[in-house]
Amino acid sequence: MEPTTMMADLTLSDELQDVDLGDKRRNERYVRIAGRLAAQPD
């Protein structure tokens, strides 16, 4: 994983810590995907 992706994941983890999609794995996947999108918005 690239450093920019890791930083985006950490920042979004803080912002999205209260998300509840009904399953811990879904929550983690959501944060991971949002981090990737934030790191490469184009």
Q: Which residues contact 20 (CB under 8 A, 6 or more apart)?
A: 27
State the CB neighbour count (10 A cutoff) for residue 26: 12
Residues 16-40 pLDDT 10s: 888 899 999 999 898 888 888 888 8
Domain boundaries, position 29:
9-39
Residue 4 lies in a domain: no
Residue 30 lies in a domain: yes
Q: Give the model's pLDDT for residue 24.
A: 92
Domain count, the chain: 1
Contact 5, 39 (CB under 8 A): yes
Q: Give the model's pLDDT for residue 21.
A: 93
Q: Give the model's pLDDT for residue 25.
A: 94
The pTM is what? 0.62
